[in-house]
Structure 1
């Protein structure tokens, strides 16, 4: 058996393989109410039919002002639970685990309402200037993540991912590029980590399943977080109870990044080795051979597949064929592989 198709345990949840569908925004809530639509059902369930080990939702907003756009999924009130539970029931029916990414866009929210951030710094000249969060705002956001975790539990998700990457709210607290605060949430790396730490603690208080965190392991700016600071955050996340770190990069400030197959894996590998925590690799992983090399050589424990799964819901079968691994195609589609 290839390692890519071997099971893995994450805090008591067993994934049948090491392949996860990466969170990707679909901007498809037609009523702008954050509720699941028929498109979402088709989109996510088809990847479970395709045998992805872990199907992750797109960024799902814990507060309405935390949406990236008006068309984003939400989990900020109890009305969202029913649709999400219908989704997880079907994902489970086809043998995959269901994960939800809890998110808040912070200063990168493109909404008609006010937007919020640790410091009143717009992302670019094309974005609004955010309101600087006061202590009450911070506590309300932490409580919103906690309430969202309770709803995720009611919706029968197996895993929660906290989105602390790509320049969204938590990443804005973590980075010196976006956090110019002088209180206990700004300044030192320890203070900048405090917001994420309190969110993890709040979520863990109501959630007994695996909790993972997506981070930007490189901010592509000499004044951003150093590798040493990223490793400090990783070690703190492990201590706080994270089961895995999903290692992406960028998004904190506007910058063009030259990407190439596996361009983020080296930092993922470094975090795994030095912080001694499971990691997930993401970023132009497009073939079964490439994915197998990553997990076989202990560069990461999971591979998060994005664009390749957008192109082909049955990418897992394609990867298995590349590796000579016997994976049955869905019976309805077997003729396609004859």
Structure 2
């Protein structure tokens, strides 16, 4: 049973020394008002929506419990923007008008607990099947992810136009139901990640692997499409994973190129993730967020195994991140916010 006792979501500045006091001070940036700078770790709740993609009471309980426990900003994970891009039979959807009522209730309930709320917009690309989505999957190239998925067909110009419109309409719906921001999912080996990957992208046109701008072209066209829509004013975040110690992984030059095209397209918030956010990247003495801050001038979310108060303190001492995604192992602790407050105050006394 979840703990229903409302946790304290603000701390007195006198209780913490700088720089940690600023973590728990209410803030408003880009119109996003939150009681603190802590964001929930994406928590894999694909099995809690209805089979038509609508919000269920279980989904509302999940996110309102996180808000009640002290999370300042809730990120609703992986809502599909088109049925063709659905990953799971009970995945949350934002592709149709029937999804709006439940999403409005979710926003209302989370806001009642004092938290801000955004939603991640996703398209599965090759990670789906005709049985699940009603259509054969599309991706940058033919991709076979295994027996649970159909081999994708290579998307054409018409497919791209449809996909861009799906994301635009999803952003419109997100703003209509009251979300504070949308996050485009460019990770998790889904469609936009497949485009970026030289392993999966074997095209020979302007979306092909010859350059970072080409590999990021669909992503940037989506962001530009949302940004140019007169009816949409919502901030846009972009989520992507950075692997620097694998074959065909990113180089510092690649990372800078990715960030430049995202910023130019209109991304307000960057959400890069790596296995350990405080480890050094590219075999040099800089964390991922220190690398991204060299190029990106907007807001940033720091994400990657922040699972203790000590790591949170180290992260804040960098004075770069605007939000911190806490590891789910910490969030699983009942009354985690009170625990975090107690630990931080004890260590500084």
Distance 2:29 2:232 in 1: 14
Bigger mean CA offset, 153-162 vs 294-303: 294-303
Cα contact 2:277–2:302 (8 A) shared by 1: no
The aligned residue for residue 328 of structure 1 is none
- Corresponding position: 1:117 with 2:139: yes
Bigger mean CA offset, 113-122 vs 218-227: 218-227
Aligned partner of residue 33 in structure 2, secondary structure: strand
The aligned residue for residue 331 of structure 1 is none
Distance 1:73 1:11 in 2: 26
The aligned residue for residue 201 of structure 1 is 224
Unaligned runs of 5+ in 1: 250-258, 326-338
- Corresponding position: 1:191 with 2:214: yes
The number of equivalent residue pairs is: 316
TM-score, length basis structure 2: 0.83
Distance 1:38 1:111 in 2: 28
RMSD: 2.3
Distance 1:140 1:37 in 2: 28
Cα contact 2:129–2:149 (8 A) shared by 1: yes
CA gap 1:232/1:321 in 2 versus in 1, 3 angstroms: same
The aligned residue for residue 170 of structure 1 is 192
- Corresponding position: 1:321 with 2:342: yes
Distance 1:196 1:320 in 2: 39
The aligned residue for residue 106 of structure 2 is 87
1:2-49 superposed Cα distances (whole Å, 9 cap, x missing partner):
232134443232332110113232122464111111110100011111
Distance 1:196 1:323 in 2: 39
- Corresponding position: 1:233 with 2:258: yes
Bigger mean CA offset, 193-202 vs 212-221: 212-221
Distance 1:11 1:85 in 2: 21
**Shift, 1:273, TM fit:** 3.0
Bigger mean CA offset, 221-230 vs 31-40: 221-230
Distance 1:110 1:302 in 2: 35
Distance 1:78 1:3 in 2: 40
